């Protein structure tokens, strides 16, 4: 990254987001006339539901273009509380939820509001690109908790116990996980909670944004629902659950995230938000209310669409020489291993991603997700694109691989 003497030490600790950088690069190349398929960003291609669009149009017509309360309108807070209670089984009320400009902002504010220099944040790897960068920006050092395909990218309670120190401030959980699709079952989360009981200084972020996208049935398991005592409203409450409408309702650009947790943490996040963005977009909040209060019946159909895409991509990748991918249990990403293709002409997985880009497909290298901590080199495919688009992209990947 380009440096400049005026950049703060905090800024110099972080890199730009590689998911958004690769997507912006694909957009620029397309604007310059190149035929690029972008499988780099986790963004459903499906249309935002009509009733959501109508609610936003109505909000505009009603002139709801003014500031709202910093942490969201009372309608939006009620809708978020409804979502946490109905969809995730977490006891939530408007007093312990907050609305932000996407889940990313909630995570940013929560970490920046609680981390002091020298603190540690335990993050299971492979991880979503922004977790370690936000932790480092806030002043923490990152403690990776490596996982492998053999354990379905889930860490054990024992590994967590070994990673915790007196300086651990946060454990970040993400189930279903980005980029691995890992889904933690209830018994494993309860074992994790047993470890947390022995370390009451550790806060827990549970990023559940992909909860509707689980392909193996069963109820969604999340720590705050399984162990409400850990998420209680008092000072001892220490679980923050993050969700939102971006992935579930195809509302990525509208930037609405939800978080629920103990009041002390919600208020701290809102204190910071009052000086960063202020309130999240008023029109998007109206859309999020419609999304949460309207029918959720289509989510099952959408999940089936994503399952078919997942199966298409995994079968094709696993048939290509030098590439392999486990079949993810949730979310809409495949983490492709490509170690046999790396070495010689292709120095690392960043070079492999550039090679694929030359063949017209944008993906994000596994190194962006902390793959090196897990001995993993390859790339992430977002299969949130139509089957036709995916088929063309897979043909291009095959051609690119054969060209090596």
Return the H-helix or E-strand segment holding 311.
Answer: helix 298-318
In sequence order, the β-bridge partners of residue 121 are 142, 170
Would you say 129 or 291 has its CB closer to ligand GLU? 129
Would you say 16 or 118 has its CB closer to ligand GLU? 16
- Cβ atoms of 288 and 251 within 8 Å: the answer is yes
Would you say 24 or 54 has its CB closer to ligand GLU? 24
According to DSSP, the β-strands at 37-38 and 361-362 are parallel
CB of 129 to ligand GLU, least distance (A): 6
CB of 130 to ligand GLU, least distance (A): 6
Omega prior to 176 cis, within 30 of 0: yes
C-alpha distances in Å from residue 115, one per residue of 100, 102, 140, 365: 19, 21, 7, 29
CA distance 25 to 163: 36
Would you say 131 or 155 has its CB closer to ligand GLU? 131
Would you say 68 or 130 has its CB closer to ligand GLU? 130
CB of 35 to ligand GLU, least distance (A): 21
Interface residues with ligand GLU (CB under 6 A)?
17, 19-20, 41-42, 104, 128-130, 178
CB of 135 to ligand GLU, least distance (A): 15
Angle between helices 130-137 and 103-112 (to 10 degrees): 30
CA distance 323 to 386: 22
Sole residue written with tokens 């298409």: 312
Would you say 130 or 168 has its CB closer to ligand GLU? 130
CB of 175 to ligand GLU, least distance (A): 15
Would you say 178 or 180 has its CB closer to ligand GLU? 178
Would you say 73 or 248 has its CB closer to ligand GLU? 248
According to DSSP, the β-strands at 364-365 and 378-382 are antiparallel
CB of 180 to ligand GLU, least distance (A): 12
| Token output for 390 | 């995916």
Would you say 46 or 267 has its CB closer to ligand GLU? 46
Residues 6+ apart with CB under 8 A from 66: 282
The residue number whose beta carbon is nearest to ligand GLU equals 42
Residues 6+ apart with CB under 8 A from 159: 145
In terms of Cα–Cα distance, which of 132, 75, 133, 63 is closest to 99? 75
Angle between helices 387-402 and 298-318 (to 10 degrees): 20
Sole residue written with tokens 């936003």: 56
CB of 112 to ligand GLU, least distance (A): 17
CB of 271 to ligand GLU, least distance (A): 24
C-alpha distances in Å from residue 403, one per residue of 194, 336, 355, 359: 51, 18, 10, 10
CB of 139 to ligand GLU, least distance (A): 22
Q: What is the distance in angstroms between the CA of the first residue and the CA of the last residue of the chain?
A: 29
- Cβ atoms of 325 and 334 within 8 Å: the answer is yes
């Amino acid at each position: 990254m380009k440096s400049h003497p005026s950049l703060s030490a905090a800024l110099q600790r972080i890199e730009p987001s590689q998911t958004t950088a690769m997507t912006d690069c694909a957009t620029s190349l397309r604007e310059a006339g190149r035929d690029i398929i972008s499988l780099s960003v986790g963004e459903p291609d499906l249309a935002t539901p009509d009733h959501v669009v109508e609610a936003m149009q109505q909000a505009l017509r009603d002139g709801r273009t003014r500031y709202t309360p910093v942490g969201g309108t009372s309608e939006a807070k009620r809708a978020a509380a409804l979502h946490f209670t109905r969809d995730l089984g977490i006891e939530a009320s408007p007093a312990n939820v907050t609305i932000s400009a996407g889940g990313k902002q909630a995570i940013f504010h929560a970490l920046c509001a609680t981390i002091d220099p020298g603190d540690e944040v335990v993050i299971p790897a492979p991880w979503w690109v922004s977790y370690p960068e936000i932790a480092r920006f806030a002043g923490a050092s990152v403690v990776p908790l490596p996982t492998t395909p053999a354990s379905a990218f889930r860490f054990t309670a024992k590994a967590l116990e070994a990673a915790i120190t007196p300086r651990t401030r946060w454990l970040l959980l993400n189930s279903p996980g980005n980029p691995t699709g890992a889904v933690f079952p209830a018994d494993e989360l309860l074992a994790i909670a047993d470890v947390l009981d022995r370390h009451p200084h550790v806060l827990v972020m549970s990023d559940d944004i992909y909860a509707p996208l689980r392909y193996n049935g069963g109820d969604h398991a999340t720590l705050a629902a399984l162990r409400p005592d850990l998420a209680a409203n008092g000072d001892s409450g220490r679980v923050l659950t993050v969700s939102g409408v971006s992935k579930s309702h195809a509302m990525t650009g509208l930037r609405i995230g939800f978080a629920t947790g103990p009041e002390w943490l919600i208020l701290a996040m809102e204190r910071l938000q009052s000086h960063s963005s202020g309130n999240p977009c008023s029109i998007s909040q109206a859309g999020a209310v419609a999304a949460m209060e309207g029918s959720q019946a289509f989510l099952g159909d959408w999940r089936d669409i994503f399952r078919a895409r997942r199966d298409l991509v995994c079968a094709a990748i696993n048939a290509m020489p030098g590439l392999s991918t486990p079949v993810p249990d949730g979310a809409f990403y495949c983490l492709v291993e490509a170690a046999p293709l790396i070495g010689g002409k292709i120095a690392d997985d960043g070079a492999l991603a550039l090679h694929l880009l030359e063949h017209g497909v944008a993906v994000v290298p596994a190194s962006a997700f902390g793959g090196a901590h897990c001995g993993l080199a390859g790339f992430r495919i977002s299969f949130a694109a139509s089957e036709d688009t995916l088929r063309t992209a897979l043909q291009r990947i095959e051609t690119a691989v054969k060209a090596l």
